[in-house]
């Protein structure tokens, strides 16, 4: 049995369209955010749900930074990825939840989308609502 980890990926309009047409999160390798050993070490009293939220928040911050730079990326996708495809990013200045995903992630592994509004609150969309999410960014 393959162990999978939940990752959070900031996506812009182009990445969402590519996911709709090609059926994968790509190109690989790409950066995502997940519960890492270092994240657990930084927050020793946090439970799994709190750690997942922290990783999600790091992905949402990347999306907000991209949006501020003029690339509309108000979307975070949650996906389940084989653990052996993930390595901790460990780059200076990167959040401790940052990971490198070594291969494209099939659309069927995407669990949900989270779309930020103007107040940076995130609305949840099921993975089957990809077309709705793309329309929101049009």
Highest mean pLDDT among 27-31, 87-91, 114-118: 27-31
74 pLDDT more than 90: no
125 pLDDT more than 70: yes
Mean pLDDT of the chain: 91
**CATH number of 56's domain:** 3.20.170.20
The count of structural domains within the chain is 1
128 pLDDT more than 80: yes
Query: Beta 30-34 vs 98-101: how paired, if at all?
Result: antiparallel
- C-alpha 6/C-alpha 40 separation (Å) is 15
pLDDT of residue 8: 98
Work out the pLDDT band at 73, boundaries 50, 70, 90: low
Q: Report angle CA 131, 132, 134 to the nearest 5 degrees.
A: 65
Who has greater pLDDT, 56 or 69?
56
Domain span at residue 48? 4-136
| CB 95 within 8 Å of CB 32 | no
pLDDT of residue 43: 97
- DSSP H helices in 1-138: 13-22, 37-42, 48-68, 130-136
CA atoms within 13 A on the CB side of 26: 13
pLDDT of residue 113: 97
- C-alpha 35/C-alpha 56 separation (Å) is 9
- C-alpha 55/C-alpha 96 separation (Å) is 9
**Neighbour count for residue 18 (Cβ, 10 Å):** 17
């Amino acid at each position: 049995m393959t162990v999978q980890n939940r990752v959070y990926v900031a996506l812009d309009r182009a990445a969402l369209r590519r996911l709709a047409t090609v059926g994968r999160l790509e190109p690989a390798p790409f950066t995502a955010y997940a519960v890492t050993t270092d994240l657990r070490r930084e927050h020793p009293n946090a439970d799994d749900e709190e750690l997942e939220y922290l990783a999600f928040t790091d992905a949402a911050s990347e999306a907000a930074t991209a949006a501020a730079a003029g690339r509309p990326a108000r979307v975070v996708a949650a996906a389940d990825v084989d653990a052996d495809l993930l390595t901790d990013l460990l780059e200076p200045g990167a959040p401790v939840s940052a990971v490198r995903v070594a291969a494209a992630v099939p659309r069927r592994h995407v669990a949900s989308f989270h779309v930020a509004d103007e107040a940076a609150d995130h609305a949840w969309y099921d993975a089957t609502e990809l077309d709705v999410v793309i329309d929101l960014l049009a």
